[in-house]
């Protein structure tokens, strides 16, 4: 029988008593979906799913899409992004490095994804954990005065400027990338499309700028808010076990990967991503 249990006081719901490869009734699914929207992440343990089943289960939450470089996508299911340090015939089978600073995915896009479902297939004995932070909680904890001050501010996100922070292992953006990667601006207080609740959108340890200000002028307020955003009471560090699924709401949660021994141990994660263009729950 379906059971929903908070992960911590500040973030997340653990979903128990389901097998995601079996039929989940609309009534049960509605409860799961609501818990996702309310608490920003869902944890479902002990699951055994094929790439097809992973994509099918993700589809119940929204439209699946892929915005990342296709060379790291699962061969048979291009909707699945492979995160791994494993190599096959000398070539990496997945992206070896996933965001080690606090971030939401695709923040630099006009339409960032609504969420992602990460599934653990192989995990190292130590490390490779993932942190999650609840941006509803972070926003709600701000003093009213500060809420009023940031209400109409916008953040300007530069993919070029963010690159060395998010991916220190990758080469600097090429001339062509610099030309293609235009800055985007998004509200600093993000109103959730489904619930209407407000979430803080300030990024992690990346120099985001406030619209109308220089990076230097923005820094005091932005860095303060970035620190509030990840106060321990709104965050949770997940130690992965094989078979764990975490679905995060990318509109209201940030996350961050942690290091592990990449030469002596293996990590293999599969990720699906839900488009941010659709704002209401799709029919089952
Ligand atoms: C991601 C990501 C974190 C991790 O998939 O977007 O940041 O721990 N993953 O792999
Ligand atoms: Mn990420």
Per-residue pLDDT of the chain (284 residues; tens, 9 = 90+): 999 999 999 999 999 999 999 999 999 999 999 999 999 999 999 999 999 999 999 999 999 988 766 677 877 788 999 999 999 999 999 988 888 899 999 999 999 999 999 999 999 999 999 999 999 999 999 999 999 999 999 999 998 888 888 888 888 899 999 999 999 999 999 999 999 999 999 999 888 999 999 999 999 999 999 999 999 999 999 999 999 999 999 999 999 999 999 999 999 999 999 998 654 555 55
Of all protein residues, whose CA lies closest to atom 8 belonging to ligand 1? 257
**222, 202 contact by CB (below 8 A):** yes
Q: Decide if 281 is inside a domain.
A: no
Question: Residue 215 Cα, ligand 1 centroid: separation in angstroms?
Answer: 27
Q: Which of 100, 103, 161, 192 is catalytic?
A: 103
Q: Decide if 55 is inside a domain.
A: yes
Residue 89 and residue 46 share a domain: yes
Number of domains in the chain: 2
Is 271 catalytic? The answer is yes
**97, 262 contact by CB (below 8 A):** no
Q: Which of 238, 255, 256, 270 is catalytic?
A: 255
269 lines ligand 1 (CB under 6 A): yes
**166, 206 contact by CB (below 8 A):** yes
Residue 121 and residue 21 share a domain: yes
Is 19 catalytic? The answer is no
Q: Given the CA of residue 130, which atom of ligand 1 is nearest to it?
A: 8
Question: Residue 220 Cα, ligand 2 centroid: separation in angstroms?
Answer: 25
The whole-angstrom separation of Cα 256 and Cα 243 is 20
Residue 213 and residue 160 share a domain: yes
Q: Decide if 282 is inside a domain.
A: no
Question: Residue 270 Cα, ligand 1 centroid: separation in angstroms?
Answer: 10
The maximal CA–CA distance of the chain, rounded, in angstroms, is 58
Could you tell me the CATH number of the domain that includes residue 171? 3.60.130.10
Residue whose entry in the numeric block shows the structure tokens 């820094």: 219
Q: Decide if 280 is inside a domain.
A: no
Residue 53 and residue 31 share a domain: yes
The answer, as to whether pTM is greater than 0.75, is yes
Q: Decide if 284 is inside a domain.
A: no
Residue 141 and residue 97 share a domain: no
Residue 124 and residue 256 share a domain: yes
Q: What's the pLDDT at 246?
A: 98
Helix (H, G, I), strand (E, B) or coil at 81: strand
Q: Decide if 279 is inside a domain.
A: no
Residue 100 and residue 8 share a domain: yes
Q: Decide if 173 is inside a domain.
A: yes
Q: What's the pLDDT at 279?
A: 46
Task: Kindly tell me the number of DSSP H helices and DSSP E strands found in the chain.
Answer: 7, 18
Is 233 catalytic? The answer is no
Q: Decide if 206 is inside a domain.
A: yes
Of all protein residues, whose CA lies closest to atom 3 belonging to ligand 1? 257
**199, 207 contact by CB (below 8 A):** no
Q: What's the pLDDT at 280?
A: 52
Residue 117 and residue 172 share a domain: no
Residue 121 and residue 168 share a domain: no
Ligand nearest to the CA of 118: 1
Question: Residue 1 Cα, ligand 2 centroid: separation in angstroms?
Answer: 32
Residue 252 and residue 111 share a domain: yes
What tokens appear for 220 in the block? 């005091």
83 lines ligand 1 (CB under 6 A): yes
Q: What's the pLDDT at 206?
A: 87
Residue 268 and residue 171 share a domain: no
Residue 111 and residue 16 share a domain: yes
Q: Which helix (H) or strand (E) element contains residue 142? A: none
Print the domain residue range for 154: 134-229
Our measurement of the distance from residue 255's CA atom to the centroid of its chain's CA atoms, rounded to an integer in Å, reads 5
């Amino acid at each position: 029988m379906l059971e929903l249990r908070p992960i911590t006081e500040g973030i997340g719901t653990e979903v128990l008593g389901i097998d995601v490869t079996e039929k989940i009734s609309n009534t049960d699914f509605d409860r799961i979906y609501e818990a996702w929207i309310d608490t920003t992440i869902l944890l479902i343990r002990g699951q055994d799913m094929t790439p097809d089943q992973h994509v099918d289960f993700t589809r119940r939450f929204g439209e699946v899409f892929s915005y990342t470089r296709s060379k790291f996508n699962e061969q048979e299911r291009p909707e699945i992004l492979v995160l791994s340090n494993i190599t096959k015939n000398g070539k990496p089978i997945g992206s070896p490095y996933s965001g080690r600073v606090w971030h939401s995915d695709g923040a630099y896009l006009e339409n960032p994804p609504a969420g992602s479902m990460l599934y653990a297939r192989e995990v190292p004995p130590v490390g490779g954990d993932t942190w999650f932070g609840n941006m509803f909680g972070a926003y709600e904890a701000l003093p009213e005065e500060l809420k009023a001050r940031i209400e109409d501010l916008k953040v300007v996100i530069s993919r070029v400027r963010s690159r060395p922070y998010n991916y220190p292992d990758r080469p600097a953006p090429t001339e062509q990338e610099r030309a293609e990667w235009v800055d985007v601006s998004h509200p600093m207080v993000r109103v959730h499309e489904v619930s209407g609740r407000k979430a803080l959108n300030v990024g992690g340890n990346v120099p985001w700028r406030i619209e109308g200000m220089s990076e230097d002028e923005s820094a005091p307020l932005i860095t303060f808010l970035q620190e509030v955003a990840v106060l321990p009471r709104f965050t949770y560090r997940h130690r992965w076990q094989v078979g764990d699924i975490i679905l995060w709401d990318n509109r209201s949660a940030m996350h961050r990967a942690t290091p592990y021994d990449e030469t002596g141990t293996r990590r293999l994660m599969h990720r699906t991503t839900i488009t941010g263009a659709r704002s209401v729950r799709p029919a089952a």
